[in-house]
Amino acid sequence: MAPKKPAAAATTSASTSSSSSGQIDKIALNIVQHYQKTTPQRTKLIDTFMAFLVIVGGLQFAYCVLAGNYPFNAFLSGFSATVGQFVLTASLRIQTTEANKSEFPSVSPERAFADYVVGSLILHFFCINFIN
């Protein structure tokens, strides 16, 4: 008779953990569906590029850790270009999002993109100059 009580407790904890993971799955699915339904295509494209920059930065860092960083200035230049481009892209996303129009009343999407292009050119000029 004694072994049945721990089995009941194990069943209860197993059902609790499966129901909480089911709730997490529902929450994640709801977030993804809401993002796909309400986010404009332009913002999704910016988000995709930002995810690409995170992957590239991770690959550069992994290569530095695993294979070494012999031309250290090249690693620093490439990694800082990736991080800088991510920051500039995040700024572009913030300025072009419809929900933030009240915070940037004088900045049109065209002006934000022009600032992004000029900032990217300056960033890459310094990164190429740093490689020497």
Looking at the structure, tell me whether residues 45 and 25 fall in a common domain: no
The pTM score is: 0.79
Indicate the angle between helix axes 41-67 and 72-96, nearest 10 degrees: 160
Q: Are residues 68 and 122 in the same domain?
A: yes
Give residue 64's domain range: 40-131
76 with 126, same domain? yes
For tokens 């050119």, the residue is 121
Task: Tell me: do 12 and 76 sit in the same domain.
Answer: no
Same domain, 5 and 48: no
Q: Is the same domain home to 2 and 49?
A: no
Are residues 118 and 54 both part of a single domain? Answer: yes
How many structural domains are present in the chain? 2
Residues 29-84: tens digit of each pLDDT:
999 999 999 999 999 999 999 999 999 999 999 999 999 888 888 899 999 999 99
Burial 25-60 (b: 16+ CB within 10 A, else e): eeeeeeeeeeeeeeeeeebeebeeebeebeebbeeb
